[in-house]
Structure 1
């Protein structure tokens, strides 16, 4: 997972998507219905979020939320955005992440 500066959602992504963000960090996954790697990514992110107190996991259907896809420059699924406690994007990655990479990315967010 790579760091990405300059993208800041503030509380925007949570409010725009109509979801509540985690207290310490949030793993936001953009998925599509027929994306096989999205299913595995969902399991990985849910597992990591369950291990770390104050971390939430949100999945957004990219086909239903084209406004967010455009705004956050989502070009493939799955794409994962790691938000800090203030809702700022601190890390983003495309493709199916490894559990260790997700844990490391969370370390940068909390």
Structure 2
């Protein structure tokens, strides 16, 4: 999964600043319990065809990897969270570690292999 955001661009004065800490989410933010090892958070919308395919892929991966859960959030129902996280398109997928820190972020329908690789950073 291709990461968005991340480290400052090289060659700018930002090199001396520490990168902003990754957002941390908890069960109250997400409306569901985090996975023991990692959590796949999917922001979806009702008429999004790629969201349905993403739901299937993330559900399959969560079923394969012990301690990983998939949480799907309807973006329209959780606008405050969507705005706080800067979600602009659906599907947007966040990979959280066991402490709820965002370790990866991607927009669009992911491939199963990419999701599994991204989980390597979280577990």
**TM superposition score category, shorter chain reference:** over 0.9
Bigger proportion of residues as strand: 1
| Paired residues of 2:23 and 2:102 also in contact (CA < 8 A) | yes
Question: Any stretches of 5+ residues in structure 1 without a counterpart?
Answer: none
Q: 2: distance between equivalents of 1:22 and 1:97?
A: 20
Look up the match of 1:68.
81
Question: TM-score by structure 2 length?
Answer: 0.84
Q: 2: distance between equivalents of 1:22 and 1:30?
A: 17
Question: Any stretches of 5+ residues in structure 2 without a counterpart?
Answer: 7-20
Structure with max Cα Rg: 2
Q: Deviations over 1:42-101 (max 9, x none)?
A: 000000000000000000000000001001110000000000000000000000000000
Q: Which runs of 4+ in 1 moved over 4 A?
A: none
Count of residues paired in the alignment? 108
- Alignment RMSD, CA only? 1.2
Question: TM-score by structure 1 length?
Answer: 0.93
